[in-house]
Chain A
Amino acid sequence: MPQSTADLLQNALKSLETSMPDIEATAVVSADGLVIASRLPADVEEDRIGAMSAALLSLGERTVSELNKGDILQVIIKGTAGYTVLMNVGKTAEAVLGCMTNEKVKLGLLFLEMKRAAEEIGQYF
């Protein structure tokens, strides 16, 4: 039986999470801040995270544009307990891929895995 887009996205997120033990949560959010698929902790309000993630990436895009720094690659938020990394998904940035990690994560490897996941997820839009 063919899988639904929702299932395909969940599988892609699960695959991303299992690629690195330091990844704690993942989500795919539409460009207008609505959660499409997520693997977030139960105590997190996913609607708020979705809205904030899309806004953060959108602000990042505008900042990069205003400062003539080319095209945005990621928005990285560093906290004392870990990182949140956001990047665009899809040829025309239809969605945002978000990844939350612990503080020990190897960022270079994370970027590679997220890029791979974003390319896969982008096919479903």
Chain B
Amino acid sequence: MSNFKTKVIQRDLNPYHSFLASFFAGLGEMGLLNQGSVNIVSKRAADYLFSYMEVKNILPEQKEMEGKTDEERIEYLVEHINGILSLLGRYQIKSAGTDKWSFLIEGNLCRICPKGVGGAEVNGTLCPIPSFIENLVNLMMESGRLQLLTKGIIKEGPICRSEFRLIS
């Protein structure tokens, strides 16, 4: 089975994943996109998607978050986002200290990676996820604010890690 075919099947890619990942990859290879600009543009995408979710009435239910711990609230919101966009195959939110969390994505199952899916041949990373999650979660949370501590993704073997903290 060809490498690309394996990728499509293993990561369960839909046409939108393929289009977006390859589009980002192309922009990255042209020198028009880098992790810094992806971080900025992802915020814009989060604002836009929030508006879309308002229109479609698919925002998460605030009552579902009542009584939950901060970690549970963040997990609930990330699951909600991934339920709609299906960008991540497998991920984990793990405590990394007081009010700090590591967001660990299994890179081989990510569906939006401009490098892993889109095939971008560039140095560094082009991951839209950390900044996108930070901004969209903040739009959905009634209290507290999530702050991204890493400036994008840190690759640790097959895992793509970013760090967040919650500010009250």
Pick from B32, B125, B151: contact of A55, CB under 8 Å: B32
Cβ–Cβ contact A58 & B36, under 8 A: no
Residues B36 and A50 in contact, CB atoms below 8 Å apart: yes
Does A78 count as interface, using CB distance less than 8 angstroms?
A: no
How far, in Å, is B166 (CB) from chain A's closest CB?
21
Is B34 part of the binding interface, using a Cβ–Cβ cutoff of 8 Å? yes
Interface size of A by CB at 8 A reads 18
Cα of A50 to Cα of B40 in the assembled complex, Å: 11
Q: Which residue of B lies closest to A94 (CB)?
A: B123
A52 at interface by CB-CB < 8 Å: yes
Q: How far is the CB of A96 from chain B (nearest CB, A)?
A: 10
Secondary structure type dominating chain A contacts: helix
Given A48-B40, A55-B37, A32 contacting B124 (CB threshold 8 A)? yes
CB-nearest residue of chain A to B27: A55
Set of chain B residues within 8 Å of A51, measured between Cβ atoms? 34, 36-37, 39-40
B residues within 8 A CB of A55? Answer: 31-34, 36-37
**Does B84 make an interface contact (CB < 8 A)?**
no
Nearest-neighbor residue (CB-CB) of B41 within chain A: A51
Q: How many B residues are at the interface, by size bracket?
A: 10 to 19
The verdict on A31 contacting chain B, using a C-beta distance below 8 Å, is yes
Determine whether A30 belongs to the interface, using a CB cutoff of 8 Å to chain B: yes
B30 part of interface (Cβ distance < 8 Å): yes
Q: Which residues of B contact A33 (CB under 8 A)?
A: 34-37
Contacting residue for B124 out of A30, A35, A47, A59, CB 8 A: A30
Please name all residues of chain A whose beta carbon is closer than 8 Å to the beta carbon of B125 when the two chains form the complex. Answer: 32
Give the residue of B30, B35, B126 whose beta carbon is less than 8 angstroms from that of A34. B35
Which residue in chain A gives the minimum CB-CB distance to B125?
A32
Q: Mark A59-88, 1 if CB is under 8 A from B, else 0.
A: 101100000000000000000000000000
Taken together as a complex, chains A and B put the C-alpha atoms of A51 and B34 apart, in Å, by 7
Q: Is the CB of B36 within 8 A of A59?
A: no
Per-position contact with A for B15-46: 1 when CB-CB < 8 Å, else 0?
A: 00000000000000011111111011000000
> What B residues does A32 contact at CB under 8 A?
34-36, 123-126, 152
Q: Give min CB distance, A52 to chain B, whole Å.
A: 7
Residues of chain A having any CB pair with chain B under 8 Å = 29-35, 47-48, 50-52, 54-55, 58-59, 61-62
Residues of B within 8 A of A (CB): 30-37, 39-40, 123-126, 151-152
The 8 A-B pairs with the shortest beta carbon distances in the complex, nearest first, are A33-B36, A51-B36, A58-B31, A32-B124, A33-B34, A51-B37, A32-B35, A59-B31
